[in-house]
């Protein structure tokens, strides 16, 4: 376990293959994101971020304990002190950092399968890292890869304190017992929310049915959670529940299910919460922040309500940066990353679920009706093209494809082509007035992207 792992991390051209993506650094924990490079990464982060200490949490993956130990070892070698928060949602780690002014790390690959893992960092105070900070950490990390890895290090356990603080913060965000009378099914994805989510919802008065809450290290996100909501949809119907909540592996995102079994995604959740806050005069700046992936139907709905829509690049850290730059309070992504900036420093699936259900209770209307009233979704088709090469002029070629497609669609739709931030893929998204038109454009663009990039 301890030693230099430089060679497996180098591409044929000598470049280091482990790099920051859209949300931290990820890789296969069996072959790439292993003890030695993670220790080097943690040392680099601790040196660059500074602060009075370092907090470390993890989701339920089999590789988590080893990588957590590596982070503690790297932080210790930097001269800093670290504490172990155990298995907790990512937002619980961010909350600890915010309350104590320390830096932190979350060991998780979010919605990826069990054999992948990742590390995402928080600056002192709990905020996501800027591009500049990531570049500084990346540079120092590459310098440290040539050094032998430090021996495993243990740290003081603060799991119970951190878990209690997270539950308390979520519960305090709404009125006491405000979910009384609701029967809710929650899918914990066999991940980080398996313990705290039921506690928080029950303390607010909800009748809670829990599924996918028996993690074994390899069943995280396995046919469950926000990326596989079918089991939750079926259980909501079987239980006659009012709603369902689906978390991802590290519980920083949420998708919902209505009593009809229909899926309610991040766009609809943000729309419901924005309209609810706007109606109560509590939507800061009468604006929301979303990414370029957000459905055109959302944009039309917000415009009709007099709510400004601010666009960012894909990634919740970009949403957070825009929220802070404008002093706004609500934003997020279609994938279910939702940030209530007045309440938290990052996306929080549990907080989002509680806020959504509180809006349902205020409206005295089923979630399905609220979602239908909040926005009318335009058909959206997504395609992923695996990339063999990426020419230097890729952005120019992509821009030309987008311009041609937008010319054909006019104001009836929207096109987005972008490289994935976490995988060797080019993502193609088309929205149009009809499913057939969206599929036709997506197929044509997928073929063109394949020809360009292989």
Q: Specify whether the backbone of 280 is left (phi greater than 0), alpha (psi in -120 to 50) or beta.
A: alpha
341 within some domain: yes
Provide the domain count of the chain: 3
Tell me, yes or no, whether 314 and 262 share the same domain: yes
Q: Just list the catalytic residues.
A: 110
Tell me, yes or no, whether 441 and 358 share the same domain: no
Q: Are 159 and 55 in contact (CB under 8 A)?
A: no
pLDDT tens track for 263-320: 999 999 999 999 999 999 999 999 999 998 899 999 999 999 999 999 999 888 899 9
Tell me, yes or no, whether 109 and 197 share the same domain: no
CATH number at residue 417: 3.30.310.50
Task: Show the domain range for 315.
Answer: 173-374
Q: Is the dihedral of CA 273, 92, 325, 141 positive or negative?
A: negative
Place of tokens 């949809």: 233
Q: Which residues pair with 310 in a beta bridge?
A: 289
Q: Which of 374, 401, 417 is the last residue before a domain boundary?
A: 374
Residue 413 φ then ψ, to 5°? -170, -165
Q: In what order do the strands lie in the sheet with 330-332?
A: 308-312, 287-291, 330-332, 338-340
Distance separating the N- and C-terminal Cα atoms of the chain: 37
Q: Which of 330, 356, 374 is the last residue before a domain boundary?
A: 374
Q: Residue 364 CB: number of other CB atoms within 10 A?
A: 6
Tell me, yes or no, whether 35 and 140 share the same domain: yes
168 within some domain: no
Tell me, yes or no, whether 178 and 142 share the same domain: no
254 within some domain: yes
Residuewise pLDDT in 10s, the chain (454 residues): 343 333 445 554 455 678 998 779 999 999 999 999 999 999 999 999 998 899 999 999 999 999 999 999 999 999 999 999 999 999 999 999 999 999 999 999 999 999 999 999 999 999 999 889 999 999 999 999 999 999 998 899 999 999 999 999 999 999 999 999 999 999 999 999 999 999 999 999 999 999 999 999 999 999 999 999 999 999 999 999 999 999 999 999 999 999 999 999 999 999 999 999 999 999 999 999 999 889 999 999 999 999 999 999 988 889 999 999 999 999 999 999 999 999 998 999 999 999 999 999 999 999 999 999 999 999 989 999 887 766 566 677 778 888 888 888 888 888 888 877 666 788 889 999 899 999 998 998 888 888 877 6
Closest C-alpha to 263, from 350, 334, 315: 334
321 within some domain: yes
Q: How far apart are CA 322 and CA 32, in angstroms?
A: 33
113 within some domain: yes
DSSP string, 367-390: HHHHHHHH--PPPEEEEEEE-S--
Q: Are 290 and 332 in contact (CB under 8 A)?
A: yes
Q: Which of 113, 135, 163 is the last residue before a domain boundary?
A: 163
2 within some domain: no
426 Cα distance to chain centroid: 19
Tell me, yes or no, whether 270 and 339 share the same domain: yes
CATH number at residue 31: 3.40.120.10
438 within some domain: yes
Name the token pair of 121.
């960092």
Q: How far apart are CA 122 and CA 344, in angstroms?
A: 13
Tell me, yes or no, whether 356 and 422 share the same domain: no
Length of the chain (residues): 454
Tell me, yes or no, whether 220 and 363 share the same domain: yes
Tell me, yes or no, whether 321 and 399 share the same domain: no
Tell me, yes or no, whether 150 and 212 share the same domain: no
Tell me, yes or no, whether 155 and 187 share the same domain: no
pLDDT of residue 23: 79
Q: Are 428 and 385 in contact (CB under 8 A)?
A: yes
Q: How far apart are CA 418 and CA 416, in angstroms?
A: 7
pLDDT of residue 12: 47
Tell me, yes or no, whether 239 and 294 share the same domain: yes
Closest C-alpha to 367, from 265, 250, 252: 265
Closest C-alpha to 123, from 250, 24, 191, 248: 24
Q: How far apart are CA 341 and CA 91, in angstroms?
A: 12
183 within some domain: yes
Helices 196-203 and 159-172: crossing angle in degrees, nearest 10, is 40
């Amino acid at each position: 376990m301890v030693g230099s792992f430089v060679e497996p991390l180098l591409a044929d051209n000598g470049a280091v293959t482990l790099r920051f993506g859209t949300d931290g650094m990820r890789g296969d924990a069996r072959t790439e994101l292993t003890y030695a490079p993670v220790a080097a990464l943690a040392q680099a982060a601790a040196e660059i971020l500074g602060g009075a200490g370092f907090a470390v949490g993890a989701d339920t993956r089999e590789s988590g304990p080893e990588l957590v130990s590596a982070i503690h070892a790297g932080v210790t070698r930097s001269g800093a002190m670290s504490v172990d928060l155990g298995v907790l949602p990512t937002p619980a780690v961010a909350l600890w950092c915010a309350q104590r002014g320390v830096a932190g790390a979350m060991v998780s690959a979010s919605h990826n399968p069990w054999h992948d893992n990742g590390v995402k960092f928080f600056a002192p105070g709990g905020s996501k890292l800027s591009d500049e900070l990531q570049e500084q950490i990346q540079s120092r990390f590459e310098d440290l890869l040539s050094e032998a890895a430090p021996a495993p290090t243990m740290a003081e356990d603060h799991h119970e304190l951190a878990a209690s603080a997270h539950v308390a913060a979520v519960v305090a965000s709404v009125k006491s017992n405000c979910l009384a009378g609701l029967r809710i099914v929650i899918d914990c994805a066999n991940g980080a929310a398996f313990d705290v989510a039921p506690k928080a919802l029950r303390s607010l008065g909800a009748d809670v049915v829990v599924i996918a809450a028996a993690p074994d290290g390899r069943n995280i996100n396995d046919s469950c959670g926000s990326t596989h909501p079918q089991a939750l949809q079926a259980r909501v119907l079987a239980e006659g529940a009012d709603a369902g909540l689906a978390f991802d592996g590290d519980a920083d995102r949420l998708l919902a299910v209505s009593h009809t079994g229909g899926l309610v995604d991040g766009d609809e959740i943000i729309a419901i919460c924005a309209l609810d806050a706007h109606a109560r005069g509590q939507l800061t700046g009468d604006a929301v922040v979303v990414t370029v992936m957000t459905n055109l139907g959302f944009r039309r709905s917000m415009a009709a309500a007099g709510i400004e829509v601010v666009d960012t690049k894909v990634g919740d850290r970009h949403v957070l940066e825009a929220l802070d730059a404008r002093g706004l309070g609500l934003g997020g992504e279609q994938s279910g990353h939702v940030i209530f900036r007045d309440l938290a420093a990052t996306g929080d699936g549990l907080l989002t679920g509680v806020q959504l259900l509180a809006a349902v209770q205020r409206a005295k209307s089923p979630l399905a009706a609220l979602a239908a009233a909040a926005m009318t979704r335009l058909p959206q088709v997504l395609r992923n093209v695996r990339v063999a090469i990426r020419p230097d002029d890729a952005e120019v070629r992509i821009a030309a494809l987008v311009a041609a497609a937008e010319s054909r669609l006019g104001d009836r739709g929207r096109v987005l082509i972008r490289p994935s931030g976490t995988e060797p893929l080019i993502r193609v998204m088309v929205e149009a007035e009809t499913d057939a038109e969206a599929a036709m454009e997506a197929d044509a663009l997928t073929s063109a992207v394949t020809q360009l990039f292989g």
